[in-house]
Amino acid sequence: MIEMQDVWKTYPNGVNALTGIDIQISKGEFVYVVGPSGAGKSTFIKLMYREEKPTKGTIFVNGTNVSELKNRYTPKLRRSLGVVFQDFKLLPRLTVYENVAFAMEVIEKSKREIKKRVMEVLDLVKLKHKARFFPNELSGGEQQRVAIARALVNSPGILIADEPTGNLDPETSWEIMKLFDDINYSGTTIVMATHNREIVNTMRKRVIAVENGKIARDQHRGEYGYED
Ligand X SMILES: Nc1ncnc2c1ncn2[C@@H]1O[C@H](COP(=O)(O)OP(=O)(O)OP(=O)(O)O)[C@@H](O)[C@H]1O
Number of residues that bind ligand X (CB under 6 A): 12
Binder of ligand X out of 4, 7, 17, 158 (CB under 6 A): 17
Report if residue 168 touches ligand X, rule: CB under 6 A: no
Q: Which of 37, 71, 110, 186 binds ligand X (CB under 6 A)?
A: 37
Q: Does 71 bind ligand X (CB under 6 A)?
A: no
* Residues in contact with 180: Cβ distance below 8 Å, sequence separation at least 6, in sequence order: 30, 148, 159, 161, 164, 190, 192
Q: Does 38 bind ligand X (CB under 6 A)?
A: yes
Does position 11 bind ligand X by CB under 6 A?
yes
Burial bucket for residue 202 (CB in 10 Å: 0-12, 13-18, 19+): exposed
Q: Give the whole-angstrom CA distance, residue 206 versus residue 195.
A: 15
Burial class of residue 170 in the structure, from the number of CB atoms within 10 Å of its CB (0-12 exposed, 13-18 middle, 19+ buried): exposed
The binder of ligand X chosen from 7, 25, 30, 40 (CB under 6 A) = 40
Smallest distance from ligand X to CB 213, Å: 7
Interaction between residue 141 and ligand X (CB under 6 A): no
Minimum gap (Å) between residue 57 Cβ and ligand X:
16
Nearer residue to ligand X within complex by CB, 157 or 225 = 225
Min. distance of Cβ 83 from ligand X in angstroms?
14
227: left (phi > 0), else alpha (psi -120 to 50), else beta?
Answer: alpha
To ligand X, the closest distance from the beta carbon of 39 in angstroms equals 4
Query: Taking the alpha carbons of 37, 142, 205, 77 in that order, is the dihedral positive or negative?
Result: negative
Q: Is there binding between residue 110 and ligand X (CB under 6 A)?
A: no
Q: How far is the CB of 136 from ligand X (least distance, A)?
A: 26
Q: By CB under 6 A, tell whether 39 contacts ligand X.
A: yes
C-beta of residue 165 within 8 angstroms of C-beta of residue 193: no
> Considering the complex, what minimum distance in angstroms separates the CB of residue 208 from ligand X?
12
Gap between the Cα atoms of 84 and 97, Å rounded: 17
Is 164 near ligand X (CB under 6 A)? no
Helix axes 111-124, 140-152, angle to 10 degrees: 130
Interface residues with ligand X (CB under 6 A) are 11, 13, 15, 17, 35, 37-43
